[in-house]
Amino acid sequence: MSVEEAKKNAAYQAVDENLMNNKIIGIGSGSTIVYAVKRIADWGKQDIICIPSSFQTTQILIHHGLSIGSLNEFPVVDVTFDGADEIDEDLNLIKGGGGCHVQEKILAYNSKRVIIVADFNKDSKVLGEKWKKGVPIEVIPSSYIPIMKKIEKMKGIPTLRMAVNKAGPIVTDNGNFILDADFSLIKNPLNLELELIRIPGIVETGLFVDMVDGCYIGLEDGSVKKVLKK
């Protein structure tokens, strides 16, 4: 079973078991979400409004002919489907490898239910076990150097995320920079989240703590591991 097949299996089962009669659907970002959007389109429900978390997601929704709305129009979302870079055994996440975690977190916060779809490479006991690129942190550009120094005092290793096909750092959809901060194994993500978010200039972190209602993880043998919030 390839990684792509695992993603597809997880996304299809997640949508089939959670779309139901919900009307306002949040859509996260990333490669797994492509399969979730296709499955939503397969349902053929004309009354669904999808709220995207990024420019990329908006383009995918347009491609599948789905109706698009915003949180300003629909401030309460019935269910959000999203991916993750890593999932721990308590359903806490690291997100932001694609740079969309601020909008994704806003969407999740305003959702009645949040369902995560992922492949077996994202399943960990502790955050930082498999995801070695660090916690994505979106920051105001003028503050990134002081923030990096604060993170170093917290025993983290911060790196300014650089663009691939342009000179200089990546700029998010919100016009900000992203720092990737390596804290090794994160045994208490809530404490780390609270400590980081107090630093002026940090817009949001890629730590999603106690925000998820269920995870669908596609496994190598073709099955799907379903973990629901305790």
Q: Looking at the chain, how many residues does it have?
A: 230
What is d(CA 59, CA 54) in angstroms, rounded to the nearest whole number? 9
Angle between helices 31-43 and 55-63 (to 10 degrees): 30
What is the residue whose two structure tokens read 């917290």?
154
Q: Tell me which residues are annotated as active site.
A: 104
Task: State which amino acid sits at residue 42.
Answer: D
Task: State which amino acid sits at residue 44.
Answer: G
CB atoms within 10 A of CB 42: 12
What is d(CA 228, CA 13) in angstroms, rounded to the nearest whole number? 14
Using only C-alpha atoms, the chain has a radius of gyration, in whole angstroms, of 17
Asked if residue 23 lies in contact with residue 48, where contact means CB atoms within 8 angstroms, the answer is yes
